[in-house]
Every structure is written in C-alpha cells, then in structure tokens.
A = this chain, B = another copy of it.
Amino acid sequence: MTQRYRLLIEYDGRPFSGWQRQQDQPSVQAAIEKAAEAVDGAPVVVQGSGRTDSGVHALGQVAHLDFQRPIEQRKVADALNAHLRPLPIAILDAWPVQEGFHARFDAVKRHYRYKIINRRADLTVRKGLAWRCPQHLDEAAMQKAAQALIGRHDFSTFRDTGCQADSPVRTLDEITIMRNGNEIDVTCSAQSFLHRQVRSIVGSLVEVGRGREKPGWIADILAAKDRTACGPVAPATGLYLERIDYPE
C-alpha cells in the first residue's frame, strides 16, 4: 500500500549541478531520492515541479514521491532531513496526498525571485545569494520596460537555445521590480517558464536599468523573437524558485 507525499523543499543551489538527476553530477533530485531510499528501504523516484539550473536556489520547490512502507506523517520530513545532512537541502514540510497528485502537471503557478544588490563593493554575507550590479540601476525604468513582457507572448528572445519546450509561447502573469535600499528584487509569476527565461529577462532589464538601453528596447527585443537580440543572461546566483501554487 503505497502513500504519496508532497514535499516542500528549500535548497542552496551552489553545490549542485541543478535539480535534475544527472550521470556523475550532484543534483538535488538524486540527493533526495537517495535519502528517500534510505528511509523507505527501496528505490524511490522524486518528481519535482520543474527543473532548476546549476546554482539556482529554491525556497519553495515542490516534489512528490511514493513510500511503500507506512511512516507517520510528522516523521517524513525529519527522516528525510536526517539522511540529507550535511547537504544544504531541507524538507520544510511533507503532506500525504492522493495518488493522483503530480508536482509538475498540477502546478498552476510558479513564482521566481531574482535578487540584485546594486553596489560597488563585493558581497560578503550574501555572497553566492544575490547578483551584485556595480552600476546604478534605475528601477523605475526597469519596471516600465518590463510591462511589455506581461501577458501571452512568443518568448523566443528570452529562451535558452537548449530549451526543450514544444512552444516558445508563455503567459507571464506578473513581473515586479522592487528596490529596498541597494537591494532590487525582480519577481516573476507564470504557470510555466521557458529554460533560462527569468535570467534572460533580468539580464536584459539590467541593460535598461543601467541606461545602456531605453525602456522600449525590451518590447523591441520581445517582438524580434530572436535569441540573439537578448541581453546578457543574469547569473544563476541571484535566482530563487520561491513558491509553486496548486489548486486548493
């Protein structure tokens, strides 16, 4: 009698080659599968809501797995965490769910946050946890430019050449640029994203923020539907998969 669990997962992306299991490379998925096997006593497949790239962090990744052996609900997270130690992966919560629940296919919205620190000095406590941009960024210009991206568009410009999605069309529900002192957070929400879409958008918006491009340039490069029109891709270090929404 198997029981499916939904997991809420936080990780520091730095030591991993990404979420996805890979031959001979450390991945978050493989680490959780190994911990789950140690808990359940049999091989376990862990299905995430989606992949994250090498170095990308997660504050609220969601995954599901099936355990063959009964285990008290309140012990699932602790048991997995005990086997994950000392890797920087934490199971924040685990709930029993119906067999039909699917972390990837049931997700209705994905929320990413990109953290920029706008200052000249190198990072110290936040090293590896944000992208430092030394040139002053005009966040109002970035916000204005970003409006062009909201809605349903062909995002070919903002899609990695290795992207395996069938279509470059996505609906971006929200994009917000917020400054608090020298910290600028870019938050993006959509049902799904293309490969490196958020980092491509943020890197292009920073070109606007630092005054190298006018705000209207973002609409122009979107309309070009051409990967070569994109600005530099922002580094993985500032990106966080923040939350995934599911139907109630």
Q: Which of B85, B92, B120 contacts A78 (CB 8 A)?
A: B120
Is B77 touching A125 in the complex (CB atoms < 8 A)?
no
Within 8 Å of chain B (Cβ to Cβ): is A127?
A: yes
Bitwise interface map of A from 47 to 60 toward B, beta carbon under 8 Å scored 1, else 0: 00000000001010
The docked-state distance in angstroms from the alpha carbon of A91 to that of B121 is: 7
User: Within the oligomer, what is the number of copies of this chain?
Assistant: 2
The docked-state distance in angstroms from the alpha carbon of A124 to that of B89 is: 6
Bitwise interface map of A from 75 to 114 toward B, beta carbon under 8 Å scored 1, else 0: 0011001000100111110000000000000000000000
Is A57 touching B125 in the complex (CB atoms < 8 A)?
yes
The docked-state distance in angstroms from the alpha carbon of A81 to that of B91 is: 38
Is A121 touching B11 in the complex (CB atoms < 8 A)?
no
Is B12 touching A124 in the complex (CB atoms < 8 A)?
yes
Is A88 touching B11 in the complex (CB atoms < 8 A)?
no
| B residues near A10, Cβ cutoff 8 Å | 121, 124-125
The docked-state distance in angstroms from the alpha carbon of A190 to that of B129 is: 31
Q: Which of A81, A120, A127, A129 has the most B CB atoms < 10 Å from its CB?
A: A120
Is B124 touching A11 in the complex (CB atoms < 8 A)?
yes
Is B121 touching A77 in the complex (CB atoms < 8 A)?
yes
Is B125 touching A88 in the complex (CB atoms < 8 A)?
yes
Q: With A57-B124, A81-B120, A125-B129 given, name 14 new contacts (CB 8 A).
A: A11-B124, A11-B125, A12-B125, A12-B127, A57-B125, A59-B125, A81-B122, A88-B123, A88-B125, A89-B124, A90-B121, A90-B123, A91-B121, A92-B119
* Closest 9 A/B residue pairs (Cβ): A90-B121, A88-B124, A12-B124, A12-B125, A90-B124, A10-B124, A11-B124, A81-B121, A92-B121
A selection of 14 A-B contacts at a CB cut-off of 8 Å is A12-B124, A12-B125, A12-B127, A77-B120, A77-B121, A78-B120, A81-B120, A81-B121, A88-B123, A89-B124, A90-B121, A90-B122, A90-B124, A91-B121
